[in-house]
Structure 1
Amino acid sequence: MGGESLLEHLNGQLTRLCEVVGTDSGIPSEMLANLLGSAGSRSLDGPPAWPSNVADDHTPVEFSIAFNEGEPPTLRVLGEALGSPPGALANLSAAYDFIDAQAHRLQLSTARLDPVRDLFATDDPQGEFALWFSQVFRSGRRPELKVYLNPELHGIQRAPELVAEALRRLGLGESYQTLLDHGVRPGKLGRKDRLTFFALDLHDTPQARVKVYLTHHDAGVRDVVRAASAVDGIDGAELAEFCEAAGGGRGPFSGRPLVGSYTFTEGVKKPVGYSVYVPIRSYVRDDEEARARVLGLLARYGFDGAQLDRAISAVTRRSLRDGVGLIAHVSLRLGPPRPGVTVYLSSEAYRVQPPRRRQVPASRDLSGRSAAGRL
C-alpha cells in the first residue's frame, strides 16, 4: 500500500511536540522507531497491525504534556512495543528487547524491575496489554523510561495477590493494606475497583517511584477523595474541584472510569503522592469543549495555556469541533516529586471519533443535585 506510514505520521507529531517543550527530537525519534519495529512501516491506508489499547483508534502511541511547578513542560510518549508479527506474547518479548536496547543509552536501572519480573511473566498473557512504556523527555535532561506492568496478566482475580507480592519484594509490603483500606470501596475489589497498572521508574535516584493504579468504575468524586486520603497532606476539596471541572459534575462517572494512582518511594510505609486521571473525552461533546475545560484548569494552577494550544497544533490541524478524543485525559498530580497537571493527546493516526450529537441526561451528583455532564 502507498500513503503515509504509521512511523511517518507519529514521528511528525513527535518532532513538532519536541519543539514545543524545547528538546531535541533526535533520540525521541530513534526510540519511537525502535518501539514500533516493523509495524512502523505499515501504511495508514490499512488497519492497525495490532488492536492496541493505548488509544481508542488502536494507535500504539499516546502523547502527553506534563505541566510542572517551577520547570518547563515535559513531553511524555506512552507506547506499546509491537512484535513481528504482533501478538500478546510477541509484544511482551518485544517490550523486554526494547528495554535491553535502551539500557546503555539511557543508563537505565532495572533494580526495581528485576525482583518482580517473574511475577509478570507468562506464556499466555491475559488482559488488555502485557507491558507498556512511558518515555519522558525533559529539556536539557537525559530521557527517562517508565514501565507499566499489567496486574491482570494472569486474570483479574489474581491481580490483588500479584500486586501484594510485588510490593513485598520491593520492600513496600506494609503499604498494600493502606492502599486497600482507602482506595477500594467495600466489596468492589476486582469488580468495580480494579488494579490495572503497576509502574516502575527505570532509574536509580531518590526520586525513582513505584506506582499502583486503581481504576474506579461507576465511581463518584467522593470515592477518589476517599482514595486520596491515604496520602498525608492531600487537599480533598482541591481534588474534588478538579474532578468536577474536568468531568462536568460529581458523578457517578458511568462512561470511561476515573483512575487514581499511588506513588511509593523506597523505605516508606504509606504512599507519598496521589494522582487522579479524568477521561475527559467521555464527558464532553467535542474537543473544543475539552480544550476549554483544560485551559480553565491550567489557569487555576498558574500554567500557560498557550503551551497547550501549541501542543494541540503540533498533533493536529483539524478543527476541534470536528471530533472528540484528541484530548483524551487530564490528570492532577499531588505530592512529590512533581505536582502539576498533565494533558494527554491522542495521535488519531487511524481515526477521528466524531463529536457527540446527543445530549445525555444530566447525572445526579452525590448530594442529590443535578450535575451537568455528557457521556
Structure 2
Amino acid sequence: MLRALLPPWAHEPIGAAPAQPSYVADDGFPAEMSVNWSGDRPELRVLFDSLGHEIVWPGESGFRARRFEHVRETFTPRAGRPSPAPLWHSIAWRPPSGIVHKTYFGLYSWPHAQRETAVAEAMERLGMAAAWDDARRRVETVEGNREIEFFAVDLADEAHARVKVYYRNHDAGLAEVDRVAAVAVHHDSRRAQAAYRTLAGDRTDAGEAALSCLAFRSGVDRAAESTTYLRLPDLAPDDREAVERTAALLHDQGVDPGRFRALAAALAPGPLADSRGVLELVSFRAAGRRGDVTTYFRLPVYDRPPPSPLSPVDLAWRFPEG
C-alpha cells in the first residue's frame, strides 16, 4: 500500500549515500518505522520525508482535507516564513481500524521567533488559539532551555484528530521533561516518572535532545495530552540494553514484550549487543491508557552520515512520529 502511494523516487535503488539527504535519520535515510504497543493489537506506523514531492492521500476530503489546507500556507514564504517547512508524512494502522494519515511541518531551520509566529497563526486558523496560549504560558514557567521543532496535524475525523506541537529539550533532567508533560490536562506524573527512570537506568537526566509533544483536541481549552520521547542511544550503551529497558517498561505496563523483542532482533543488522541506534527512541504517554509506549526504529542504511545541514540547529536528533 505504501509503495503504491509514494512518488517515483521511492522505487529507485538505495545506494551507498543518499542522493538527497533527509534529517529523519542520522545517516540521511528518509524514513523510520515505529510501533505503539497499547491496546489489544499494536499500531504500525511508517514516517517518511516527502523530499519536496507532493503527496496526495487517496480519499482525503471534507474535514481532513480542510484541516490540512487551513494551515499549509502558514508554513510557507507566502505567509512571511523564511523558507517552506519540510513536509514529513506518516501512515498509522491498527487493525481492524482504518489507516490514519499524519503530516508534520519541520520548523527546525527557522529563527525561533518565526516558529512561534507560525504555530500561533496555525492554531488560530484551527480554532485552538486559546488552548495554545494557555499551553505556551505554562511551558514558559518550566525552567530549562527548549525550542519548537515540529507542528503536526492528524488527518482523521474531527472526533479523533489531534494537532501536535513538539518541543526539543536541551540538557533537560527527567523531572524537567515531566513538568513540561504536566502542562497537559491528562497526565499522570507518578506513572510517567517511573517510566522515564526505567528507560534512563541510573541517570537522572533525560539524555540528548529529549522531545516533549503537546497534543490538542477540538473543544479542549488546554493541551489535552502529552508524550515524552527519550533517545535511547544516549541513555544505553547498545541496542541490547536499550531493548532490555524497553521490554521492562512494556512488562510494567502490562504488555507482553515478546513481539517487541522479536521485532527489534529482526530489524538489527546483527546481534543487538553490536549495534546502537536501531532502537532510536522510546516514547511514553501517561494519559490514562496503560501500555502507551511507542518504539521507534531507524534502519542503518547508508555507509556514511549525510552532509552537515544548513540548519543552525544541531540535527543529532530528528523527529519521531507520535
Structure 1 and Structure 2 fold alike (TM over 0.5) = yes
User: How much has 1:140 moved relative to structure 2?
Assistant: 2.5
Tell me the distance in 1 between the aligned counterparts of 2:18 and 2:61.
29
Letter in 1 for 2:224: V
Aligned equivalents of 1:352 and 1:194: distance in 2?
Answer: 28
The CA distance in 2 between the partners of 1:106 and 1:315, in whole Å, is: 35
Change (3 A) 1:125 1:30: farther
Q: Which amino acid aligns with 2:36?
A: A
1:54 paired residue among 12, 21, 24: 24
Identical counterparts, % of pairs: 28
List structure 1 runs of 4+ shifted beyond 6 angstroms. 105-108, 336-339
CA drift of 1:238 comes to 1.6
Q: With CA pairs under 8 Å and 6+ residues apart, which has the higher RCO, 1 or 2? A: 2
1:109 to 48, 64, 67: 64
Alpha-carbon distance in 2 for matches of 1:231, 1:74: 23
Deviations 1:95-147 (A, max 9, x none): xx21x2x23379982222111111111388659x6111111122223221100
Contact 1:185 1:193 in 2 (8 A): no
Are 2:188 and 1:232 aligned? no
* Structure 2: runs of 5 or more not aligned: 306-322
CA pair 58-339 structure 1, distance change in 2 beyond 3 A:
same
Relative to structure 1, the CA distance from residue 198 to residue 171 in structure 2 (aligned partners, 3 Å threshold; closer, same or farther) is same
Equivalent position to 1:43, from 8, 11, 14: 14
| Structure 1 unaligned spans of 5+ | 1-26, 83-90, 354-375
Aligned residues: 303
Identify the residue that residue 362 of structure 1 maps to in structure 2: none
Would the aligned equivalents of 1:262 and 1:273 in 2 still touch at CA under 8 Å? yes
Q: TM-score, normalised by structure 1?
A: 0.74
Q: Does the C-alpha gap of structure 1 residues 43 and 125 become closer, same or farther in structure 2, counting only changes over 3 Å?
A: farther
Secondary structure of the 1:139 match is coil
Write the distance in 2 (CA, Å) between the matches of 1:349 and 1:106: 35
SS in 1 for 2:183: coil
Q: Does 1:73 align with 2:42?
A: yes
CA change 1:152–1:47 in 2 (3 A) is closer
Root-mean-square deviation (CA, aligned residues, Å) is 2.6
SS in 1 for 2:151: strand
Offset, 1:248: 2.6
1:329 aligns with 2:281: yes
AA in 2 matched with 1:64: S
Q: Distance in 2 between matches of 1:276 and 1:145?
A: 21
Aligned residue number for residue 279 of structure 1: 231
SS state of the match for residue 347, structure 1?
coil
Q: How much has 1:330 moved relative to structure 2?
A: 0.3
Aligned in 2, Cα 1:125/1:141: closer, same or farther, shift over 3 Å?
farther
Take 1:270 and 1:143, find their aligned partners in 2: how far apart are those partners?
27
Q: Distance in 2 between matches of 1:243 and 1:300?
A: 12
What amino acid does structure 1 have at the position aligned with 2:168?
A: T
User: What is the CA deviation profile of residues 286-309 of structure 1, one whole-angstrom value per residue up to 9, with x for unaligned ones?
Assistant: 100101100000001011211112
Output the CA distance in 2 between the equivalents of 1:338 and 1:109: 28
